[in-house]
Amino acid sequence: MKQINHYHHKKILVIGLAKSGVAAASLLHKLGAFVTVNDYKPLSENLEAQELLEQGITVICGEHPIGLLEEGFELIVKNPGIPYHNPMIAGAIEKGIPVITEVELAYQISEAPLIAITGTNGKTTTTTLVFEMLKTGEKQPLLAGNIGIVASEVAQEASTENTIVIELSSFQLMGIETFNPRIAILTNLYDAHLDYHGTRYEYVKAKANITKNQTENDFLIVNAEQSEVMEIANNSKAIMIPFSSKNKLSSGAYTHEGWIYFNDEKIIALKNIALPGTHNLENILAAIAAAKLSKVDNDAIFKVLNSFQGVKHRLQFVTEHKGRKFYNDSKATNMLATQNALAAFTEPVVLLAGGLDRGNEFDELIPYLKNVKAVVTFGQTAKKIERVAEEAGIKTIIHVDNVEKAVPVAYELSEQGDVILLSPACASWDQYKTFEVRGDIFIQAVHMLK
């Protein structure tokens, strides 16, 4: 990592632990800062805080005392999940104390160039595809960011021979100052996290931060089919690389007559791609653009796309059993994601859906239910989804207690050639701690059928 002295003897407050907070505090301590950590969880229950205390870092737990802001801190590093209206954060901003997130630290110490990916949907799939293409092309990539791997820890190990492929959320991007990826990808923009950002304008502004420090020597890969995304690209200094799954482009990545092209070069036939779904085609195009800009050869790109069947919990192919194909799309925590999943299949589908009730209805699913032969519901939204299924003309609708019980019921309702799809269209928190837990229970129940 770069040996920077920017933080030497500076008083820095890290608010909120979890993995990123622990990594930020440890890194700043190594860089010679006077670090104080503040976390809401009591010290007796807080193993991370106890470990930091053993390193000689000052730890204040159990509350967020606003008086801390009077102690002369020169910088605050906050957990991305803490909103800016939090009294501590709002108070710091009012006092003019800079507030950053841990990914800014990662950029500052990284010897490796970065490929950064953001957007509403498709971030994790695109990030994984870029990583796999660079890995297969022997470019020594490292994975980091919102995908679950703390960026500042990865950056400490990275050298000039590596490329860090980093997934970024809007929360992380709000806290950057100098962060500048050599290649940035903006997959798409839809309404999301408005409870955090307040308005769509603020959400989009946060996403646009991915390119705010890019220069004429950098690249911004963008979805040419979204005017909002293109507006961000037109205001960027970076070289714009568009992609489109619908139209032939004069440059960039696009589909035409059954093939994917990059700058008019044939890359791969659509029939040779293993990953299903039109929405995944956009992710693939974005990843191909990043790979080609990174000098990955076409053979490596082909090998990845010919075998890659998805990220876990994101339209993940689980197995085939007695002629039925099972797909785990537990990450589908909103209607758009379930619409994309349903649009990926031409086979008859048995849909497993339901979860946390956020107050919305599900009528927008109706046009996408034409191939659905049966619906198995669970969770708080079961009745709402059942109503929509009835309006769509689906005759077989069964309610069960949970995902585990839904799997054998769906199997009994299915025939050879059918797809059994978990795509809940809802968050998991009414019954499960995370969508990952929900997806793992689905996978276990599928394997129990055997």
**Would you kindly state where each structural domain of the chain is located, as residue ranges?**
11-100, 103-307, 316-448
The reported pLDDT for the residue numbered 182 is 98
pLDDT by position in tens, the chain (length 450) = 998 999 999 999 999 988 999 999 999 999 999 999 999 999 999 989 999 999 999 999 999 999 999 999 999 999 998 999 999 999 999 999 999 999 999 999 999 999 999 999 889 999 999 999 999 999 999 999 988 899 999 999 999 999 999 999 999 999 999 999 999 999 999 877 777 888 999 999 999 999 999 999 999 999 999 999 999 999 999 999 999 999 999 999 999 999 999 999 999 999 999 998 888 999 999 999 999 999 999 999 999 999 998 888 989 999 999 999 999 999 999 998 999 999 989 999 999 999 999 889 999 999 999 999 999 999 999 999 999 999 999 999 999 999 999 999 999 999 999 999 999 999 999 999 999 999 999 999 999 998
Which residues lie below 8 Å from residue 434, measured CB to CB, with a gap of 6+? 428
Query: Vertex 81, ends 286 and 237: CA angle to 5°?
Result: 40
The reported pLDDT for the residue numbered 197 is 82
Amino acid at site 115: I
Asked if CATH classification 3.90.190.20 holds for the domain at 316-448, the reply, yes or no, is yes
**Contact present, 232 and 206 (Cβ < 8 Å):** no
Specify the pairing of strand 316-321 against strand 324-328.
antiparallel
The CATH number for 11-100, chosen from 1.10.1040.10, 3.30.1050.10, 3.40.50.720, 3.20.170.30, is 3.40.50.720
84 exposed, middle or buried (CB, 10 Å; 0-12, 13-18, 19+)? Answer: middle
The reported pLDDT for the residue numbered 135 is 98
Tell whether residue 121 is among the known ligand binding residues.
yes
SS3 readout for the chain = CCCCCCCCCCEEEEECCHHHHHHHHHHHHHCCCEEEEEECCCHHHCHHHHHHHHCCCEEEECCCCHHHHHCCCCEEEECCCCCCCCHHHHHHHHCCCCEECHHHHHHHHCCCCEEEEECCCCHHHHHHHHHHHHHHCCCCEEEEECCCECHHHHHHHCCCCCEEEEECCHHHHCCCCCCCCCEEEECCCCCCCHHHHCCHHHHHHHHHHHHCCCCCCCEEEEECCCHHHHHHHHCCCCEEEEEECCCCCCCCEEEECCEEEECCEEEEEHHHCCCCCHHHHHHHHHHHHHHHHCCCCHHHHHHHHHHCCCCCCCCEEEEEECCEEEEECCCCCCHHHHHHHHHCCCCCEEEEECCCCCCCCCHHHHHHCCCEEEEEECCCCHHHHHHHHHHCCCCEEEECCCHHHHHHHHHHHCCCCCEEEECCCCCCCCCCCCHHHHHHHHHHHHHHCC
Tell whether residue 124 is among the known ligand binding residues.
yes
Distances (CA, A) of 245 to 59, 183, 225, 249, 395: 51, 20, 8, 10, 34
The CATH number for 103-307, chosen from 1.25.40.20, 3.90.650.10, 2.40.10.220, 3.40.1190.10, is 3.40.1190.10
Tell whether residue 67 is among the known ligand binding residues.
no
CA 416 to chain CA mean position, Å: 34
Which residues lie below 8 Å from residue 150, measured CB to CB, with a gap of 6+? 19, 20, 23, 102, 144
Tell whether residue 120 is among the known ligand binding residues.
yes
Distance of alpha carbon 21 from alpha carbon 39, whole angstroms: 9
Comparing CA positions, the residue from 261, 260, 205, 269 lying closest to residue 232 is 205
Tell whether residue 123 is among the known ligand binding residues.
yes
Domains 11-100 and 316-448 share a fold: no
